[in-house]
């Protein structure tokens, strides 16, 4: 799967992933009204509004980016109806030719970890039939439980040509409470990065591994160190835009081949119409604002990396 992602990045010249992390407060009034008129102010109505909102954005960005990253919690908050909207979003993005990174941050052990992996990036057998339940291309995973939590995902990746991104140095302000703690004189994130590199050697594509890493844009110095520790690891970079990351901060996340990283923006793109810079588009043209914000992000990153 990493080979497909790399090819799509090369084709679009856009090392960018759009985070589909919808909240009801983000959704324009005309979409909410239409959904509530049909389904009422119900969980079904909310989930339908979320899907229509996503669909408008995807229709306007699918030809200029290689991938999207829906965050499952934003869907789970609406219960079963929300999960159905998550699955519909995954399927619709695939119809548009996009790579889908499921931001699920799962982390458990043994059969539980296997069940998570099977449900999201694998196949499940029901009697004489086999199904692909959710069918993302990559998912994010939490390594805190060690190899017991990661190996089941790697096994499923090998069986189904899928991938994972392991949390290494996250973009949130308090990440250092644990990730920066010294272990034998070294920060924990470095030890996790080295382990990700080892896991990745078991699951290689042509040039990069199907085992990637999550390293936040808000910590460029740590990103520079981790790039060297994980030369064959593709880095998923959250924290661009709304969290403060800029293209100039990310140069060292990329390898000399110009590849090796894909940068995420969520609110900065899907809520672009709410920003002063894009306010002229208006809420009716929210998806056009998202496209322009995406183009601006691509230009910023490509200019920075030369």
Using only C-alpha atoms, the chain has a radius of gyration, in whole angstroms, of 19
Question: At residue 102, what are phi and psi to the nearest 5 degrees?
Answer: -80, 115
Query: Residue 101, Cβ neighbours under 10 Å: how many?
Result: 27
Which residues are designated catalytic?
105
The Cα 255–Cα 273 span in angstroms is 33
Please name the residue that has the structure tokens 């096994």: 155
The vertex-68 CA angle with 67 and 72, nearest 5°, equals 145
User: Which of 12, 23, 99, 15 minimizes the C-alpha distance to 54?
Assistant: 23
List beta partners, residue 265. Answer: 18
- CA–CA separation, 195 and 284 (whole Å): 47
Sign of the CA dihedral with 281 first, then 282, 287, and 290 last: positive
Proportion of the chain in helix, strand, coil states, percent, rounded to 5: 55, 20, 30
The DSSP-derived string for 58-79 is: HHHHTTT-SEEEEBTHHHHTTH
Strand partners, 166: 141, 213
Contact 148, 113 (CB under 8 A): yes
Asked if residue 154 lies in contact with residue 203, where contact means CB atoms within 8 angstroms, the answer is: yes
Q: Which residues of 216-232 are buried (b: 16+ CB within 10 A; e: fewer)?
A: bbbbbebbebbbebbeb
């Amino acid at each position: 799967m990493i080979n497909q992602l790399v090819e799509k990045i090369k084709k679009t010249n856009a090392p960018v992933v759009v985070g589909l992390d919808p909240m009801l407060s983000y959704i324009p009034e005309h979409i909410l009204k239409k959904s509530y008129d049909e389904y009422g102010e119900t969980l079904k109505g909310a989930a339908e509004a979320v899907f229509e909102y996503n669909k408008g954005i995807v229709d306007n960005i699918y030809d200029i980016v290689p991938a999207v990253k829906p965050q499952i919690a934003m869907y789970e908050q609406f219960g079963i109806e929300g999960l159905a909207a998550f699955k519909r979003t995954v399927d619709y993005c695939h119809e548009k030719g996009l790579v889908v990174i499921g931001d699920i941050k799962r982390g458990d052990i043994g059969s539980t970890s296997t069940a998570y992996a099977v449900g999201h990036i694998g196949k499940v057998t029901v009697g004489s039939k086999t199904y692909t339940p959710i069918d993302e291309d990559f998912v994010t995973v939490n390594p805190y439980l060690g190899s017991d939590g990661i190996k089941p995902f790697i096994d499923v990746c090998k069986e189904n040509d899928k991938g994972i991104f392991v949390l290494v140095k996250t973009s949130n302000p308090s990440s250092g409470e644990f990730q920066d703690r010294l272990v034998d004189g070294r920060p924990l994130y470095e030890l996790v990065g080295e382990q990700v590199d080892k896991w990745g050697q078991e699951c290689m594509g042509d040039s990069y591994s199907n085992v990637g890493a999550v390293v936040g844009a808000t910590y460029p110095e740590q990103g520079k160190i981790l790039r060297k520790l994980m030369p064959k690891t593709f880095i998923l970079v959250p924290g661009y835009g709304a969290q403060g990351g800029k293209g100039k901060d990310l140069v060292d996340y990329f390898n000399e081949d110009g590849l090796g990283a894909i940068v995420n923006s969520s609110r900065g793109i899907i809520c672009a119409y709410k920003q002063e810079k894009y306010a002229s588009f208006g809420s009716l043209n929210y998806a056009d604002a998202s496209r322009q914000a995406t183009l601006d992000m691509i230009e910023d990153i490509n200019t920075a990396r030369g």
